[in-house]
Structure 1
Amino acid sequence: MSVTLPLGETEISVSLPDCDVTVAEPPGGEAVDVRDAAERTAADPYGPELARLADPDDIVTIVVTDVTRATPDDVLVDVLLSELERAGVPREQVTVLVGLGLHRPMTDAEIEAGLGEHADLAINHDPDQTVRVGSVDDCPVEVHERVADADLVVSTGMVEPHQYAGFSGGAKTVAIGAGSESLIRYTHGPEMLANDGVRLGRVADNPFREAVDRAGDEIGLDFCLNVTHGPSGFLGASAGDPRSVVQELATVGREALSVPVSGSYDAVIAGVGAPKDANLYQTTRAATYVVLGDRNPLREGGRVVIPAELPEGAGEGAGERRFYDWLSDAESAAALYEAMRPGYEPGAQRAFVVARALRDHDVYVTDSEHPDVVEECLMHARESVEDAVDPGSDVLVVPDALNTLLVHGED
């Protein structure tokens, strides 16, 4: 049987004639036109329209996602600017802040590709240029000065499955993307991530999600415009109150992305593709989504196989470098997990979660430009997917692993 998987911006064909292969294809949902959907929801949001919230003399900051999210920010920012123009806010009073968190800065070319004609309004977030605006559970909430000083704070976002927040988007774009290390340290620390409620695909009663939402309240996020997507494309848009936006789009996403799984498998082949397979930090989401999601489909000793280009190696941001340092210095996954239990620097949480998954299952990364980095990080590098799967294996293929929720089926 031959299957097609993403690799960077292209695709590869994988043939496993000696294996019993099952493909996990989510329902996918029905695609919508992003601009039409964004304009409709901006005109009928949760709460007041943006044009009614804004005054002509307002200084406005719009926080957008970075290159690690496939958010159509050019369209969403265009819709938001039209709403602000309707309120009489001049374009020169608007800053577009790229919410990097601890990821690397976006290049000028990436900003132009992501924001189109509005790229001239954009600046990269710098976590060293933050000021305190409040606290959550005694943790300081600090945000970029352009956000803190704004009269009106707006954000875009992608509501997609997230290992910790359940689904991303909403206040997370601002609280994490435009915040400092303090909130990232708190929300991504071992105590938070060990909580049973902190789980892929779960929004309700999720302490991580609740902390991020409360941080958004402290920051004063006034309005957000988010989308969700699936295999068929963008599935919907929602605007206004951040909590309501996430709840609506998470429901849409969950219905479109859930696949019931029965039985156990020797290997799960997990597709990633661009932009997430640019580095190992982002690529390992596929492994942890499989192993630490609602339903781990691997039998004891089973492995995850991920084709990924990795042009950036482990990754170039502060968080990515910390991820690499922890993994590359470790003797084993079990030893690393125990060493990180007392705490770690913001950004290193991905190493902690990867170590948690690697205690039970091997991870193979194929087709990469940096196999040496893969091997240094307690994982295995192979030239092809076929090289990473033993003949005669029962294999589950998840072509879009970051947008598929594996849930319990009938055994």
Structure 2
Amino acid sequence: MEIPLGQGTIDVRLPNCDVTVAEPPGGEGVDVRVAAERALENPLGSPLAERIDSDGDIAIVVTDMTRNVPDDVLLDVLLENLAEIGVDREQVTVVVGLGLHRPMTDDEIETMLGQHADLAVNHDPDSVVEVGTVGEGVPVEIGEPVATADAVLSTGVVEPHQYAGFSGGAKTVVIGAGSESIIRYTHGPDMLAREGVRLGRIDGNPFRETVDRAGDRAGVDFSLNLTHGPVGVLGVRAGDDRRVVSELASIARSALSVPIDHEFDAVICGVGAPKDANLYQATRGATYVALGDRNPLCEGGRLVVPAELPEGAGEGTGERRFYRHLREATDADALYETMREGYEPGAQRAFVVARVLRDHDLFVTNSDAPDVVEDCLMHAECDVADALEDGTEVLVIPDAVNTLLVDGE
């Protein structure tokens, strides 16, 4: 069977194991440009022309390279629509929503945005403006180019997300172009421990609700998002950020849900590019499986994640904090209990990984950074087969970050 690794795949053969492959229904693919144009013609809520001042400055927040989104196409369609209603190109600033990830290089931005790369700037989390508060007075701070714009738009992807249920909508702006304060609050142990904060859920999810309210403070005027599955892009929606997320999440659930009716000894979690660029991102494959709606593993079962890891643990602020916490920990239980008292923004992935490692061993295979893996309370192996014992029952999830495991009993 073929499992993603980097930009390609690896051929995994497990003749001595009982193998089941989790294959989501997949849905039907759409042409991104055509679907984006139709979404702008038939928005959820009032059209873009009624939401902005054509003489004002426009900020468009886009995702960074950790998301698999054809931002060049979405941005091109959005800019064409803006031009039709009288907005000159010079009025637009495209902000790359990094959150606490590392800045993208000029070459990376050009690859991602093509002819529109000249409009782009990396978000600077140290140069922000407070635009309001959420929760118990938590400041909502947004990058200056976004906070000072007359209109705020966003592109992005609505895909399963460990905390928000599904990504996209206001999250692209609030987290991608936000400061440490809102990331500390939304990604802290108190928030992540709340009922309803889970993969695949948006209704009754405190994380999602907080991000949406913060988006109101930030003045998110219009979102153009897509969702995708095994066959490619499944749908594009434009308009009110909450409605965009809700409709695309519904499409994604139908296409990505797989019922599970018994437990397995091991799960192979396919990730591939761009998520397997570093360990911080690649561990999503394991945590999405073990902390989703239906954990398919038996007690003591193991998780296996093939990942190239050309960036090691990762190069951004959050990634470095993630690595430090795991590297300095003696064991998963101690790390989890320590981090329950609090941690810096970006380190939440170490907290979530520790939660999984208390119950399951995690093997990362085929990587360029086995020493980094071993530093982080995980196990490194050269190949997937080396991480599995003969005679075990194995569930293979080729696209673990885009598969929703649900109870099939």
Task: Check whether TM > 0.5.
Answer: yes
Q: Distance in 1 between matches of 2:396 and 2:261?
A: 14
Cα offset, 1:107, TM superposition: 1.0
Secondary structure (helix, strand or coil) at the match of 1:273 reads coil
Aligned pair partner of 2:31 in 30, 33, 54? 33
Match of 2:228 in 1: 229
Q: Distance in 2 between matches of 1:58 and 1:37?
A: 27
The 8 Å contact of residues 199 and 206 in structure 1, kept in 2 or not, is answered as: yes
The 8 Å contact of residues 54 and 84 in structure 1, kept in 2 or not, is answered as: no
Cα offset, 1:56, TM superposition: 2.7
Match of 2:99 in 1: 101
Match of 2:143 in 1: 144
Structure 1 residues 386 and 269: alpha-carbon distance in aligned structure 2, compared to 1, 3 A threshold = same
Match of 1:302 in 2: 301
Q: Distance in 1 between matches of 2:147 and 2:369?
A: 40
Q: Distance in 2 between matches of 1:231 and 1:119?
A: 28
Give deviations 1:201-260, integer Å, cap 9, x for gaps.
Answer: 001000000000000000000000000000000000000000000000000000000000
Match of 2:75 in 1: 77
Q: Distance in 2 between matches of 1:257 and 1:44?
A: 25
Q: Distance in 2 between matches of 1:338 and 1:281?
A: 20
Match of 1:341 in 2: 340
The 8 Å contact of residues 45 and 240 in structure 1, kept in 2 or not, is answered as: yes
Match of 2:324 in 1: 325
Secondary structure (helix, strand or coil) at the match of 2:12 reads strand
Q: Distance in 2 between matches of 1:332 and 1:183?
A: 29
Cα offset, 1:132, TM superposition: 0.3
Cα offset, 1:48, TM superposition: 1.6
Q: Distance in 2 between matches of 1:59 and 1:139?
A: 27
Match of 1:209 in 2: 208
Q: Distance in 2 between matches of 1:389 and 1:259?
A: 23
- For 1:18-29, what aligned pairs fall within 5 Å after superposition? 18-29=16-27
Match of 1:68 in 2: 66
Cα offset, 1:53, TM superposition: 2.2
Residue 168 in structure 1 maps to residue 167 in structure 2: yes
Match of 2:407 in 1: 408
Cα offset, 1:196, TM superposition: 1.9
What amino acid does structure 2 have at the position aligned with 1:264? E
Secondary structure (helix, strand or coil) at the match of 1:253 reads helix
Q: Distance in 2 between matches of 1:56 and 1:396?
A: 53
Spell out structure 1 runs of 4+ moving beyond 2 A: 51-56
Cα offset, 1:109, TM superposition: 1.2
Cα offset, 1:87, TM superposition: 1.4
What amino acid does structure 2 have at the position aligned with 1:393? T
Q: Distance in 1 between matches of 2:104 and 2:255?
A: 31
Q: Distance in 2 between matches of 1:55 and 1:374?
A: 50
Secondary structure (helix, strand or coil) at the match of 1:26 reads coil
Secondary structure (helix, strand or coil) at the match of 1:203 reads coil
Secondary structure (helix, strand or coil) at the match of 1:15 reads coil
What amino acid does structure 1 have at the position aligned with 2:20? T
Cα offset, 1:57, TM superposition: 1.2
Aligned pair partner of 1:122 in 110, 120, 128? 120
Q: Distance in 2 between matches of 1:25 and 1:403?
A: 11
Residue 364 in structure 1 maps to residue 342 in structure 2: no
- For 1:264-303, what aligned pairs fall within 5 Å after superposition? 264-303=263-302
Cα offset, 1:51, TM superposition: 2.4
Residue 135 in structure 1 maps to residue 133 in structure 2: yes
The 8 Å contact of residues 52 and 87 in structure 1, kept in 2 or not, is answered as: no
After TM superposition, the score normalised by the length of structure 1 is 0.99
RMSD: 0.6
Cα offset, 1:380, TM superposition: 0.2
Give deviations 1:169-196, integer Å, cap 9, x for gaps.
Answer: 0000000000000000000000000112
Q: Distance in 1 between matches of 2:395 and 2:85?
A: 52
Aligned pair partner of 1:91 in 84, 89, 98? 89
What amino acid does structure 1 have at the position aligned with 2:209? E
The 8 Å contact of residues 55 and 88 in structure 1, kept in 2 or not, is answered as: no
- For 1:369-380, what aligned pairs fall within 5 Å after superposition? 369-380=368-379
Q: Distance in 1 between matches of 2:265 and 2:398?
A: 17
Residue 256 in structure 1 maps to residue 255 in structure 2: yes
Secondary structure (helix, strand or coil) at the match of 2:302 reads strand
After TM superposition, the score normalised by the length of structure 2 is 0.99
Secondary structure (helix, strand or coil) at the match of 1:182 reads helix
Q: Distance in 2 between matches of 1:313 and 1:49?
A: 44
Cα offset, 1:52, TM superposition: 2.8
Aligned pair partner of 2:47 in 41, 46, 49? 49
What amino acid does structure 1 have at the position aligned with 2:267? V
The 8 Å contact of residues 278 and 308 in structure 1, kept in 2 or not, is answered as: yes
Match of 1:177 in 2: 176
Q: Distance in 1 between matches of 2:14 and 2:68?
A: 30
Gap regions ≥5 residues in structure 1:
none
Secondary structure (helix, strand or coil) at the match of 2:276 reads helix
Q: Distance in 2 between matches of 1:54 and 1:314?
A: 41
Paired residue total: 408
Give deviations 1:76-115, integer Å, cap 9, x for gaps.
Answer: 1111111111111110010000000000011111111111
Q: Distance in 1 between matches of 2:16 and 2:83?
A: 61
What amino acid does structure 1 have at the position aligned with 2:28? E
Give deviations 1:103-153, integer Å, cap 9, x for gaps.
Answer: 001111111111111000000001001010000011100000111110010
What amino acid does structure 1 have at the position aligned with 2:77? V
Cα offset, 1:293, TM superposition: 0.4
Q: Distance in 1 between matches of 2:325 and 2:93?
A: 36
